[in-house]
Amino acid sequence: MTALEDRRQIVESIGEAHRAGARLDRACTLAGIDVRTLQRWRRQGGGTVRDDRRPHAERPRPAHALSEAERTELLRVANEPRFAALPPAQIVPRLADEGVYLASESTFHRVLRAQGQSMHRGRAKAPAPARRPTTHTAHGPGEVWCWDVTWLPSRVNGRWFYLYLILDLYSRKIVGHEVHEAESAEHAAQLVKRAALAEGVHATATKPVLHGDNGAILKATTVLAMLHWLGIAPSYSRPRVSDDNAFVESLFRTAKYRPGFPAEGFADLDAARQWMVGFVHWYNHEHRHSALRFVAPAQRHAGDDHGVLQARAALYHIARQRHPHRWSGATRNWTPIGPVTLNPERDALAATCGSSDRAAQSKRLAA
């Protein structure tokens, strides 16, 4: 069912488009309704759009509905001590085994719901709704950081080195990394401090948000105290959901599948650190990131990506003018990438569009 406010907005937008010259059936199709639906909405209200009357309709009592005596008996049986902690899905089959049929499972649910007894039965907690992922949008470098810790293999079975890494969400630049032999909150706190000093966080008016998973190291008191001292706001993923920190997870895969990564493991801690120094330099300055229109993260971090992409667009324009018959459509898109959102939420983005989308709706319908 369509809400009254949505009905009025749709009817108004279709009317504006129709008066501007758009065909009524095409405008209704673009709005997602049928022409008959539009006619019914207008006819029911006598020219004024009214809300849906189905929820308020008075429906006759079905002839096969349970009588009051049958409803009372159903509630008495459902509240017996042996059934008090069982759902209707368990009650109905047990009664059938005893040769008793009172009502269907759906009828049990309906009667219990009408009596306010349709709730979670038993001592177990009712299923809780899933928490929405934390959403952050970076419009420039230094606004949102993502960090995590991963294992680096060694040549000794059962021994691992730990890579601590901080990634700038907007530019994908690695702004801090360290490799240690142990997983420690002190190492994580010192990494955040060094990254903040290197990026000049102390001199910026807006401090970054640091997003990580729910690991004990990233939520330790030592780390939280350091973040508070630096003015950095912590942010966390949902428990056991690695996709909430997908940018860092993707970077870890890029590192571990990079040619030259020792599949047999690192010989020692110094070898792991040296390899990571080379990888970070390659990733930040040489790697052309596919999500950034193939510019280096360091170029986007410094704001040089616009000039690089404009030069590419100009080159493609000249190439098309030289041989126009080789181009069947537009040249390659070298437009700079805009803001980057971590875990975008459809409802939040729709609310952000708000009135601007509504104002443009009639124009789209007319076109």
In a domain, 170, yes or no: yes
pLDDT tens digit sequence for 46-97: 667 877 777 778 888 888 889 999 999 999 999 999 998 888 999 999 999 9
Supply the CATH number for residue 165's domain.
3.30.420.10
Q: Specify whether 230 is located in the same domain as 147.
A: yes
Q: Which whole-number Å values give the CA distances from 353 to 1, 158, 356, in the listed order?
A: 23, 51, 6
In a domain, 133, yes or no: no
Taking the mean position of all CA atoms in its chain, how far away is CA 287?
Answer: 27
In a domain, 13, yes or no: yes
pLDDT tens digit sequence for 320-354: 999 999 888 888 999 999 999 988 864 454 445 44
Q: Specify whether 168 is located in the same domain as 270.
A: yes
- For the beta carbon of residue 9, count every other beta carbon within 10 angstroms: 16
In a domain, 267, yes or no: yes
- For the beta carbon of residue 150, count every other beta carbon within 10 angstroms: 17
The confidence band for 45, taking pLDDT boundaries of 50, 70 and 90, is low
How many domains does the chain divide into?
Answer: 3
Position 215 pLDDT exceeds 90:
no
Percent above pLDDT 70 for the chain: 91
The predicted model gives 214-242 an average pLDDT of 89
**How far is the C-alpha of 47 from the C-alpha of 39, rounded, in Å?**
10
| Final residue of a structural domain among 114, 131, 159 | 114
Q: Specify whether 10 is located in the same domain as 110.
A: no
Q: Specify whether 165 is located in the same domain as 225.
A: yes
pLDDT tens digit sequence for 269-305: 999 999 999 999 999 999 999 999 999 999 999 999 9
- For the beta carbon of residue 3, count every other beta carbon within 10 angstroms: 10
Q: Specify whether 223 is located in the same domain as 151.
A: yes
pLDDT the model gives residue 122 = 62
| Final residue of a structural domain among 276, 292, 308 | 292
Q: Specify whether 181 is located in the same domain as 277.
A: yes
pLDDT tens digit sequence for 9-33: 888 898 899 999 999 999 999 888 8
In a domain, 222, yes or no: yes
pLDDT tens digit sequence for 230-272: 999 999 888 777 678 889 999 999 999 999 999 899 999 999 9
Q: Provide the domain limits for residue 94.
A: 79-114
Position 363 pLDDT exceeds 70:
no
Q: Specify whether 97 is located in the same domain as 188.
A: no
Q: Specify whether 157 is located in the same domain as 253.
A: yes
- Show the 3-state SS of the chain: CCCHHHHHHHHHHHHHHHHCCCCHHHHHHHHCCCHHHHHHHHHHCCCCCCCCCHHHCCCCCCCCCCCHHHHHHHHHHHCCCCCCCCCHHHHHHHHHHCCCCCCCHHHHHHHHHHCCCCCCCCCCCCCCCCCCCCCEEECCCCCEEEEEEEEEEECCCCCEEEEEEEEECCCCCEEEEEEECCCCHHHHHHHHHHHHHHHCHHHCCCCCEEEECCCCCCCCHHHHHHHHHHCCEEEECCCCCHHHHHHHHHHHHHHHCCCCCCCCCECCHHHHHHHHHHHHHHHHHHCCEHHHCCECHHHHHHCCHHHHHHHHHHHHHHHHHHCHHHCCCCCCCCCCCCCEEECCCHHHHHHHHHHHHHHHHHHHHHC
pLDDT tens digit sequence for 191-200: 999 999 999 9
pLDDT the model gives residue 358 = 42
Q: Specify whether 211 is located in the same domain as 174.
A: yes
Q: Specify whether 148 is located in the same domain as 107.
A: no
The confidence band for 175, taking pLDDT boundaries of 50, 70 and 90, is very high
**β-bridge partners, 152:** 161
Contact call for residues 191 and 197 (beta carbons, < 8 A): no
**How far is the C-alpha of 142 from the C-alpha of 209, rounded, in Å?**
9
